Structure 1
Amino acid sequence: MGIENGNDSLVVGVGDWTDWSSCTQNGFESRSQACEYGRKIQRRGCPARQPLQSFGAAPPAPPQPYPRREPVAQSRSDQSPYDEYARRYLERLSQQREPQRHPASQQAQPCVQGICPAPQPPQYSALQESRPQEYRPPQPRPEEARYRPAPPPPPACNGDGCVARNLVHGTWYDWSEWSECSCTCGIGMKQRRRECMTNNCQGPEYETAPCDMGPCETWSEWCEWTACSGSCGRGERSRTRYCNLGTQRCEGKDYEVEACDAGPCPEWANWAEWGRCSVSCGTGRTRRQRTCLGGVQEFSCPGPSTEERVCEELPCSLWSPWQDWSSCSASCGNGMKRRVRTCQYGTDCPGPAEEAEPCYGPPCAMWTQWCEWSGCSAQCGPGHRTRTRSCLTADGMESRDCPGQSIETTLCEGTSCCRWSDWCAWSMCDRECGTGHSIRTRACVNSEGIIDPICHCEGIDREQKQCNTQPCALQCAWTQWCAWSECTTRSQCEIGIQSRSRQCVGEPGCHCLGLAEENQQCRGQIPCSTKAPC
């Protein structure tokens, strides 16, 4: 498990380390040691469960301290700069300190923590002397499996009593890039991190190295506060500064520690209301949920977020048995018969409450198709026309049993007397110059010269021609015609008058050719007969 230093790991400590604190909710514990101007803090992940071992016939060798792990091979060397910075920093510390003021410092050593020792192997009994178990590396979480490569296969195990090395010494991912220096001047610290593929790796998870940002004036600026020692709840954080007076001593402390609050720890909100039952009737299930407030992927709330229970609704609706079929609706020929049922214990029974199906009686007498309409009884004016059909039995005999009439009569109008009236006179030209238009009209009338809506004459009832095509002397023009007014009569057979107007616009003193108001004949909507005009 890696150790994370809260301050410069090369600061010389004075006295013993305190005991490790209790494990926090987010899985970390810390301890501190007195230094010359304050305290230094170490923080590490809580010890994990005993890793999976493979058991052989003989117990493994006693554990040995882990050697210092060299960084993962990269394009640059990380060891040489680290040693050089450490050497320079220790020389500077030895020049600045006064031994007579701190006799205990003569026995001090740099607080550079090594790699944690390997976990103690289990003691084996006679019952464990069996064939080695199969190596089963821990599986990454689903969200990690999407972004991490698969761990390498376990090494071969030859001979009795061997222990799968990867189970004790896991495989690390590559180191991350170095962080920025913790100080803007003087000697600060930088840090990098790596992740373990199998949760049982040898060596630290975090690595810290000094970084020299150049000399500061007297005391350097305080470095940034370290991260709070807990991921939630109460914790501690620290910051440092550096003296740049060479062999002289700066007044004050170079290390500060304060309490910090990493925010509320995750906790469950109140349960929501129970949801709707999964069924509308009978026995079903209902569900309710609650939300983890402040939780993250690694540190979520304990317990389930969903609960279910059985729910009982009213008895389900049920159809009664079908009643007997009714009698056929027809005494002969094709008919229909029906039957019904009743919805019991409710009104939401699925399916229809009534069924119908065809039924067949003896053949009935039936009407033939209607014959064609006869001609109109009047050649000109109103008349009537008829059509007939026959009632026949299945063997072709005439019958009187068919419902309805055998003769049908309708009104008609003889069209041979409808004609066009004479054309009315041409209207005045609508413009005095610049090409205007003149119109004339006629009406479709019956033999008496009356406009009759029954009459339909071939041709058009309105003609138009150009007039006054000579150019205008002044720039004058009529506006668009306004809409026609309502007809002065309401009868369809009377000729009324409706009018519209327009205005002459243009240069001062100009006069537009044509009329400013125009009238035309019109018909109303109420049927009646009057003489056609003109």
Structure 2
Amino acid sequence: MNLILWGIVLFGIYVPQSVSQMVDCFSSFTLSRGKCSGLLGQVQKDKCCLNTNYGYQEADGICKSCGRPTWSEWSSWGECTVSCREGVTQRRRSCYGIGDCADPENLGTLQTKPCVKRPCCPVEGGWSEWGNWQLCSVTCGDGMKKRTRTCSEPIPECGGSCSGAAEEATNCSTEIICPTHGGWSSWGRWGPCPVTCLKEGRNPEKEVRTRTCTNPLPSVVPRGNNCEGSNTDTRPCSGLPFCPDDGNWGAWTGSTPCSVTCGVGQQTQRRKCDSPKPAHGGRQCRGEDQKTGVCVVDVPCPVNGIWSEWEEWSKCKQPSTKTIRCANREGTRRRLRDCIERKHDGAHCEGEIVQHSNCYDINNCPMQGVLTEWSEWSYCKPDCGQDSEQTRERVCVADISKYRFQDRSLFTGFAIINCTNLENDIERKPCHNVPECNNKE
């Protein structure tokens, strides 16, 4: 099968490209929103991703990151699924980058927990009977009168209300004729200026607009008042140009250097509206005063190192010959990590490569058991469907109350724990109003 080739012109240089490999290349990828910004142009995907801070967009229109696989922050918790009593709220995160994100704690992409926007649901109220009609709003001619009612039979509860209006209005007439006073109509449009070009050193001509006393006309019987003020208005003509001299573009300058030292950037050319400059109100040059094109520096960009996960702790021991196993005597241990994935002179990892810690060796030591406090309630699992529930637990663990430090992470090995009459326990409670499962997800 023949591969169809096409190309782009970069400031007069034709560069052939492969259709199947072309992507829209962006100078920035925002991890928090999963969005690309700063469009550079169309280049090959591998050229765009010479810089791991860049993003690209293929034909599917979805923005993707050139960087290593990284989890976004958890989104804000969403709206509660119900407006009153107990429901659930959810939040999500996404994996961006080339490859799959590690998930050692199996947190997934969705979390669900209970929520209560309002502990009770609204109860609607009922209207009282309408009150008496009030007096007409005018003393002559036609007006309005109104009457009111209250939302009190019964009174609404928990934020409820009555459906409908608390006030009702209707027309009323005094059967007395009122005088009609004159009112000005809106000003008409300004008339044309008598000249189209202002001569330097002279006062500008004036333009005129008019109005009429017809909004409304004054009545004759009974006699209404005429309009006050003048029916004409003038102002100096404004914005009149001198004799115009339109501007024209000069030649394009040479291209600027590529904006980057590695990967994909842009070059710029500029021109000035000075051949000639516009004068006396002449028109500015039409079009843009600069143009940009994509450029490629075929050098991989630096990739900063990241720390690997910590290795397992070393064996808990003491420099002296004293035995510390089962002896309530402190030892020491250490663990290491590596600075990995650093490429192309990227920055080294900040921090220590080795970590030291005190420890206690309780491996195969007989110890009395105690029950832990109840754990915090878990998130709702599964995240959809009627079987979703929360759990918490308490378990039998070794009693370490006689030790100086009681941080369980300092204890190494597996003790032989006496849990007689101490049973592990778990509690469950259902989550309410959880969204139905979508089989397509």
For this structure pair, what is the TM-score category when the shorter chain's length is used for normalisation?
under 0.3
Between structures 1 and 2, the one with greater strand share: 2
Q: Which has the higher contact order (CA 8 A, sep 6+)?
A: 2
> What TM-score, normalized to structure 1?
0.20
> What TM-score, normalized to structure 2?
0.24
